Amino acid sequence: MQQVSINTKDLKKRMYAEQRSLWIKRFFYNKMLVFGSLLLILLGFLVLILPFFIKSDPLVMDTVNRFKAPSSEHWFGTDSYGRDVFSRVIYGGRVSIIIGLAVTLISGFFGLVIGVCSAYYRSLDHILMRFCDGLMAFPAILLAIAIMATMGPNSFNVVIALSIVFTPYVARVVRSSAIVIKEQTYIEALKSQGASAWRILALHIAPNTISPLIIQCTFIFADTILTEAALSFLGAGIPAPEPSWGNILYDGKLAIFNAWWMTAFPGVALLLTVLGLNLFGDGLRDLLDPHTNKAKK
C-alpha cells in the first residue's frame, strides 16, 4: 500500500513537469503573446519600480522652467507649471495601471459570480441579465461620468465607478460560455452522483469559463486605462494635481501647439500599454483555445 502512494507521488511530479514544459513550448511558439508580455513586463517595470529610483517629484513646480523642450535634464520636457513630464508619466502610469488592475479584478470576480449564477439558475437569470442589459445600454463613459458625478472625484471612486461599468461585460461573456458548459453531459453525470449545486458551480462550471474570462479581462484592463484617461481628461477622474495619463493629456491639450511633448509622451505610453494588453489578450486566447492548440503539441 505504501509503495503505491510513493509511486503515485513520483508520477504526479513527473506529469506536472511534462505539462509545464509543454506550456512553455506553446507559449514561446505564440509570437503575439511573447511580444505582448514583453511589452507589459517592460512597462510594468518602468511604472511600478522606477518611481523608487527617480529623484524628481512629479508634483514639484518650477515656474522658471516652464514649457522646456525635452533635454538631458528633463527627458520628456516640462509642463505648464514646470513639472517634469517624465516623472509625471511614470507616476501617472502607476495610478493608471493600479486602477486598471483593481477594476479588472473586481469586475472579473463579480462578473464571474453573476455570469455563472445566472447561467445556472434560470429564475435569477431574468433579473440579473435585465439589470446588466440596463447598465450596458449606456455608453461606458457616460455611465462612468454619471456615477462619478454622484460620488465625487477621487481614485477610489474611479475604481468603483469603472467596476460597475465593466462588470456586465464580463458577466455576459461568462454566462454565455457557462450556459454551454451547463448542458454538457459531465454536469448531468455530477448531478446523478448527487453533487450539490454549489459544488457543480464552483468546481466544475466556473473553472471551465476561465479562458473566455481571462481574455475578456485583458480587454477590460485596456479599456479601463482608456476610460480612466478619458474621465480624467474630462475632469471627472483623478483630481489634479495627482498625475494620471488622462489628466496629463488634459493639461497638455491646452498647449498642444507650443509644447507637443506634453501630449506626445503620455499618449505614446498609453498606446504601448493598450497595444501590449491587446496583444497579450489575443495571444492568450490562442493559447487557451483547444482548437488552435492542436496544431502545436
Partner 1 sequence: MQPLIEVKNLKKYFEINNGIGKKKNVVKAIDDVSFTIFKGETYGLVGESGCGKSTTGRTLLKLIEATSGECIYNGKNILQMKNREMAEVRRDFQMVFQDPYSSLNPKKRIGQILEESLIIHKIGDKNSRTEMTLEILKKVGFQEEHYFRYPHEFSGGQRQRIGLARALILNPQLIICDEPVSALDVSIQSQVINLLQEVQKSFDLTYLFIAHDLSVVRHISDRIGVMYLGNIVEEAQTDELFERPLHPYTQALISAVPISHPKQAREKIKLKGEIPSPLNPPSGCVFHTRCPYATEICQSQKPDMRTFSSGRRVACHLVEE
Partner 2 sequence: MENDILLEVKNLCTYFSTEKGKLRAVDHISFSVKEKEIVGIVGESGCGKSVTAESIMRLLDEKNLVSYEGEILYKGNNLLSLKKNEMQEVRGKEIAMIFQDPMTSLNPVYTIGNQIVEGILTHQKISKKEAKQKAIDLLRFTEIPSPEKRFDQYPHELSGGMRQRVMIALALACNPKLLIADEPTTALDVTTQSQILDLLNKLKDELNMSTIMITHDLGVVAELCSRVIVMYLGQIIEIANVEDIFDSAQHPYTEGLLNSIPHIDGDRSKKLNVIQGTVPTLDKVPVGCNFAGRCQYATDKCREVEPELKEVMDNHFVKCWNYELIRKTNKEENEIATPY
Closest distance between partner 1 and the C-beta of residue 119, in Å? 16
The entry of partner 1, partner 2, none near residue 194 (CB within 5 to 8 angstroms by kind) is partner 1
Summarize as ranges the residues that interact with partner 2 (CB under 8 A).
294-296
Give CB contacts under 8 A, 24+ apart, made by 44-51. 44/97, 46/90, 46/93, 47/90, 47/93, 47/94, 47/97, 48/94, 48/97, 50/90, 51/87, 51/90, 51/91, 51/94
The entry of partner 1, partner 2, none near residue 191 (CB within 5 to 8 angstroms by kind) is partner 1
| Cα–chain center distance at 265 | 22
CA gap 83, 267 in Å, rounded: 17
Would you tell me the crossing angle of helices 155-182 and 122-137 to the nearest 10 degrees? 140
The entry of partner 1, partner 2, none near residue 192 (CB within 5 to 8 angstroms by kind) is partner 1
As a whole number of Å, the end-to-end CA separation of the chain is: 36
Residues 6+ apart with CB under 8 A from 251: 79, 80, 240, 262
Please say which residue, 119 or 269, places its beta carbon nearer to partner 1: 119
Please say which residue, 135 or 195, places its beta carbon nearer to partner 1: 195
Closest distance between partner 2 and the C-beta of residue 286, in Å? 13
Please say which residue, 150 or 185, places its beta carbon nearer to partner 1: 185
The entry of partner 1, partner 2, none near residue 296 (CB within 5 to 8 angstroms by kind) is partner 2
The entry of partner 1, partner 2, none near residue 295 (CB within 5 to 8 angstroms by kind) is partner 2
CA gap 196, 232 in Å, rounded: 47
What's the chain's length in residues? 297
Summarize as ranges the residues that interact with partner 1 (CB under 8 A).
1, 4-5, 7-8, 11-12, 15, 184-186, 188-195, 199, 204, 207-208, 290
Please say which residue, 15 or 127, places its beta carbon nearer to partner 1: 15
The entry of partner 1, partner 2, none near residue 126 (CB within 5 to 8 angstroms by kind) is none
CA gap 282, 276 in Å, rounded: 10
Closest distance between partner 2 and the C-beta of residue 294, in Å? 8
Please say which residue, 33 or 217, places its beta carbon nearer to partner 2: 33
Backbone Cα Rg of the chain: 23
Closest distance between partner 1 and the C-beta of residue 180, in Å? 10
Closest distance between partner 1 and the C-beta of residue 18, in Å? 9
To the nearest 10°, the Cα dihedral for 179, 183, 187, 189?
Answer: 170
Please say which residue, 100 or 283, places its beta carbon nearer to partner 2: 283
